[in-house]
Structure 1
Amino acid sequence: MDQSCAIAIDDLHFSWDSGASVLAGCSLQVKPGEFCMLLGTNGSGKSTLLRLLAGLLDIPQGKIHLQKPVGFVFQNPDHQLVMPTVGADVAFGLVDENLAYEDVRQRVDEALIMVNLLQLKRRPIYALSGGQKQRVAIAGALAQNCRVLLFDEPTALLDPDSQLELVAQVRDLVKQQGITALWVTHRLVELDYCDRAILLEQGRVATEGAPEQVKQALQNLHLT
């Protein structure tokens, strides 16, 4: 396992209690500062893999190496936004760091600037659009200085224009801040924004490489 990678997975297996196998010897690597997308049909193991990386599931067999801290952005931002206002929610993840008030405010403001939401710092969460909520969730991870961001189909609930706007913004953040991103999607148009794509099938990597290469593999498998 190459521990110089931001994400390194070696021979990862996972099955549910029912006995259904989800991951069967999955191995992959993501380099520091890389924006990588993960694709596959329903049941291929994409979301399960992300949850294993985030520590939301126990690892029964295999090895995982991750740069830390790690942030996770859910498909539905309402599942992770817990405070009444934008600024309070971004600050929420800093409560255990024993920071002075001024340090917290600075980190919150810096994170909101990165996602172009500083002007909405005092806006109630309920008054935000879906795309704005996802950007608040990302800002929360940035405020914690996360080096790896995991995205589980974060554009699934957004309109088409907002989908591509969010993908482009994450790509720019990855490049500007040196953050590593692993982004689960099933939309081929989103591949145009990533550095590399990985196709999962039957719980393991079927192919990986440049976006166009993986698009062709999908077309060959009649998955488009």
Structure 2
Amino acid sequence: VAARLAQLTHAPHFEVQLGPVISPDLSKMPERWSEAAFVRWEAAARLPEVDAHDIFVKGGVDVGFVSGAQIDRYGNLNVTAIGDYTRPRVRLIGCLALPEHLAFARRPIVIIDQSRRTFVERVDFRSGVGHLHGGKSRTEAGLRPGGTWKVITNLAVLSFHPESKEMQIESLHPGVSLAQVQEQTGFPLRIPDEVAETPPPAAEIVHLIRHEIDPQNLLLRY
């Protein structure tokens, strides 16, 4: 939905990659995310997995969207296991393409619900490296500059301090307080001198989403 909205507004040449699927027709999104629907989805191309991976490695992805079960103050993500890796309380889906998103995409954006269960002091398993231990630790470990760019939650938009790389509040969604955000975070957030309010979507944006992009309300249903 967000990608199609970008195409219809400020980024008409925005191209989408979903794994090996290149530039699917976003005006014909599947009603259900099944393998069969994914295969039948009209697209410009379907690449071998190795070629799709090469697009990441060669810096061809400007913005990557990811999520996870845990995120820490430096934007590291866990989608592998909760608890000790050898004896986990919960075994999760595994890394998939998360390492590539955080290693190679120019601006990785994390979409995640905000709670103390997901925003933790330290992830149980580092499936994707954000800013590692903060500061220059990411590049000192041999990774390219970059790392997690923004974190968008149900309460706020979060970013990272340019030097310490600690997570900080960028804006609060309408009606949300600083105390609410901190209460749902398992580590102290950096708070700038001025905290903006996340601007609500304009009426024409809401109309596009409800009547042109997602008239069947698939986004909220699934």
Larger Cα Rg: Structure 1 or Structure 2? 2
Larger relative contact order, structure 1 or 2 (CA cutoff 8 Å, min sep 6): 1
- More helix, by proportion: 1
- More strand, by proportion: 1
Flag whether TM exceeds 0.5 (same fold).
no
Could you state the TM-score of these two structures normalised by the residue count of structure 2? 0.30
Could you state the TM-score of these two structures normalised by the residue count of structure 1? 0.30
